[in-house]
A and B are shown apart, each in its own frame.
Chain A
Amino acid sequence: MNKKISQQAKMLREIMSYHFKAVDLTLYLDTHPSDVKALAEYNHTTQILNNLTAAYEQCYGPLTVFGSAMSQYPWRWIEEPWPWQVEF
């Protein structure tokens, strides 16, 4: 595995972990909407997730095909490895 893919996979794993944390917090908040501590944790997690996503997309291109990140020239989406091509 070359160094670029290794770093890319590392960033993807971190994004996946924060994404999972955000999802799990939303499930809790759905049944505990007034939990201030959980809400703060969710907002903090979302901020980190947004920062990680922006940093990844700056280096490797968009994570979702449209509506989330702008693309550099040329169109970056087709330059991304498919999910099954990334070695975690």
Chain B
Amino acid sequence: MSSRKIFYPVEPIGACFPDARLAQAWTPYQCIGMIFDPAVGLLEGTIYPELVRPYEPHPHIPDEIVQRRMLGL
């Protein structure tokens, strides 16, 4: 194995997409119903209408946290 180390430049956090949500820990449980036309799904980022943001938050999330998220905090 080579002992050569590779150093990558460090990118500032959020430099490219400062407002992007990079992960989602929870999505609503789905029961498949109507799905979008493929061209619409490609634009929306999902073929499931119930997953178009913003969707209903998890019922166990405290109201305080929900309100903070709605305010973008």
| Contact surface of A with B, Cβ cutoff 8 Å | 13-14, 16-18, 20-21, 24-25, 28, 32, 35, 37-38, 41, 45
Contacts and interface: CB of A to CB of B under 8 A. Distances in A.
Of B32, B38, B39, B41, chain A has the most CB atoms within 10 Å of the CB of B38
Main secondary structure of the interface of B (DSSP, over half): loop
Nearest to B32: A38
A32 B30 CA distance: 9
A24 B41 CA distance: 9
Contacts, number: 35
B32 A20 contact: no
A25 to B, nearest CB: 7
| Residues of B in contact with A, size category | 10 to 19
A28 B32 contact: yes
Contacts of B46: 24
Interface in B22-68: 30, 32, 35, 38-39, 41-42, 46-48
B48 A17 contact: no
Contacts of A32: 30, 32
B48 A37 contact: no
B33 to A, nearest CB: 9
Contacts of B47: 20-21, 24-25
B32 A24 contact: no
Contact of A17 (B32, B35, B38): B38
